[in-house]
Structure 1
Amino acid sequence: MITTATGELSLPVSDAFSFRDATANGTPEGERDHIRGPKNAPVTLVEYGDYECPYCGRAHFIVKELQQLTGDLMRFVYRHFPLTSVHPHAEQAAEAAEAAAAQGKFWEMHNHLFEHQQALDRKHLIEYAANLGLDVPRFSHELAEHAHAAKIREDLLSGIQSGVNGTPTFFINGVRHDGSYDLRSLLAAIQNAAES
């Protein structure tokens, strides 16, 4: 059984995957995915992450550097995988990112959340929305109503189906990257994938 922090999902894992048409490793991009980089890039890096996870916080800056170093070689897909049992604000932060996405500012909020991991409570999330120029009443309402919880569940279930059990977890062109996620290791793996 899988239960989210909002308590809205409790069903057997075998029945849960109708949320996303995912193949092995859950890496095909869906229309609701958040993607940075050229559509025709030879390498796709998918990250399952948690905004409250300190390791994801470190990985965030590595991914940003990778994007600068690889240019058109790579596109990046971010998917939510909130570990609510150890990170009590992770799911709400993911919903905040989706509420910002609904107003065209996913990446701005995404960056802001990772840059302010120690302050992810509702009060701060609303403050971040205001700082980003979002419609704050709409943002606040969507957070309160869990308007984007289905997207979070969809990503979470895709990750579970792909064997994700911690964060960050990376896939490079559909293959789980089980090595280190330091800059040198990820860059080498991306370059190898581009040459394959």
Structure 2
Amino acid sequence: MSLKPSVSNTDHAQGNLEAYLVIVEYGDYQCPYCGAAYPVLKELMKEFGSQIKFVFRNFPLSEMHQYARPAAIAAEAANLQGKFWEMHDAIYENQRDLNENLLVKLAEHLKLNIPQFEKDLESTELADKVASDFESGIMSGVNGTPSFFVNGKKFDGGAEDLFELLRENTES
């Protein structure tokens, strides 16, 4: 399966934004497997961040994870204040305690403008952004989280396997 739509400037990206290697993760903030992949991906970025562009798309499995969607919307709300990755990281680092209250606590901790943040949580625009990420996942053949795409192609391994792939690709 290939990634639809391809990565654009509406995506959240970090690392080397001009990199040839583009890794996209479809993730759910409450999914334990995404939680387990998170430190591995952090390590990956530390080692290869200058060589890859890493993109995160929301894929909240709301049937199973009641806080996945609110968390995704909270990260999008933080994005409006320039703190997407900080919120993304904070949610994964506190995944065990995830609930509605935690999201506001994290926003306070990140020194966000809280009245604005709370207003943005209600925004249909942010709900639509999360829904459109989810849709793109469905169109791209995502059926669980985390799912990874490397340069637009579905990657059949987990975060650890990405390490192997990168080591092979960067040894010249």
TM-score (normalizing by structure 1) = 0.81
Indicate whether 1:142 and 2:120 are aligned. yes
The one-letter amino acid paired with 1:190 is L
Aligned-partner Cα distance in 1 for 2:144–2:109: 31
Question: Taking every aligned residue pair, what percent have the same amino acid on both sides?
Answer: 43
Aligned to 1:118, the other structure's residue is in SS state helix
Aligned to 2:49, the other structure's residue is in SS state helix
TM-score (normalizing by structure 2) = 0.92
Q: 1:161 aligns with which of 127, 139, 149?
A: 139
Unmatched 5+ residue regions in structure 1? 1-22
Q: 1:47 aligns with which of 7, 22, 25?
A: 25
Aligned-partner Cα distance in 2 for 1:38–1:25: 20
Q: How many residues align?
A: 172
The one-letter amino acid paired with 1:126 is V
Work out whether residues 17 and 52 of structure 2, in 8 Å CA contact, stay in contact via their aligned partners in 1: no
Work out whether residues 45 and 172 of structure 1, in 8 Å CA contact, stay in contact via their aligned partners in 2: yes
Aligned-partner Cα distance in 2 for 1:154–1:49: 14
Aligned-partner Cα distance in 1 for 2:69–2:94: 15
Which of the pair has more CA radius of gyration?
A: 1
**C-alpha deviation, 1:193, in angstroms:** 5.0
Distance 1:172 1:193, change over 3 A: farther
User: What is the aligned partner in structure 1 of residue 166 from structure 2?
Assistant: 190
Aligned to 1:75, the other structure's residue is in SS state strand
Q: 2:41 aligns with which of 63, 80, 87?
A: 63
Cα deviation code 1:127-148 (max 9, x no counterpart): 1111100000111112134441
User: What is the aligned partner in structure 1 of residue 86 from structure 2?
Assistant: 108
User: What is the aligned partner in structure 2 of residue 173 from structure 1?
Assistant: 151
